[in-house]
Amino acid sequence: MKKIVKILALSLCLLLALSACGKSSYISFDDVYADLIENIDFGSNMAEMSEIAAENFYFIYDTDILEDYVIYMDESNSTPNEIALFRLAKESDRTTVETIVKNRINDLKIGFEDYNPDEMYKLENAVVKAKGKYVMMVISSDNSKASDILNKYLG
């Protein structure tokens, strides 16, 4: 009996040690958003608009390709400030979602070109990062800092 308990205890220790070796592939969108908001001035009008934005601005009608997503936008529409974070259901859909995100940036460029040209610099340097099952996009006044923050999470 003592031998069995000892073997089970050693097996459990080995299992715990092996599971600790692999880095978790889960990224908390709340953490990414908090980090971005804490380090970059997005103004006071940022609001979560995930469901409305996915369909009306990103034209994602089949959200089954997404495991999770969150989209924050300038509610006043006076700036192109935006944060879009996507966790895909399948890694094979990454190129599709990257294209969707880049199309969103292009649509904003067309809109802001005449409406508020002073904001175009944000769009010219918009940050799009993708790795594994994640696609992340940030449009801000400090896209270099945004890029660094996304790199911290995507590795």
Chunk the chain into consecutive blocks of 10 residues (it has 155) and report each block's average pLDDT, rounded to whole numbers. 46 40 74 98 95 94 94 96 98 96 97 94 97 98 98 95
pLDDT at 1: 55
pLDDT at 6: 47
pLDDT at 11: 44
Q: What is the spatial distance between Cα 44 and Cα 29, in angstroms, rounded to a whole number?
A: 20
- In SS3 terms, the chain reads as CHHHHHHHHHHHHHHHHHHHHCCCCCCCHHHHHHHHHHHCCCCCCEEECHHHHHHHCCCCCCHHHEEEEEEEEECCCCCCCEEEEEEECCHHHHHHHHHHHHHHHHHHHHHHHHHCHHHHHHHHCCEEEEECCEEEEEECCCHHHHHHHHHHHHC
The model's pTM: 0.84
pLDDT at 149: 98
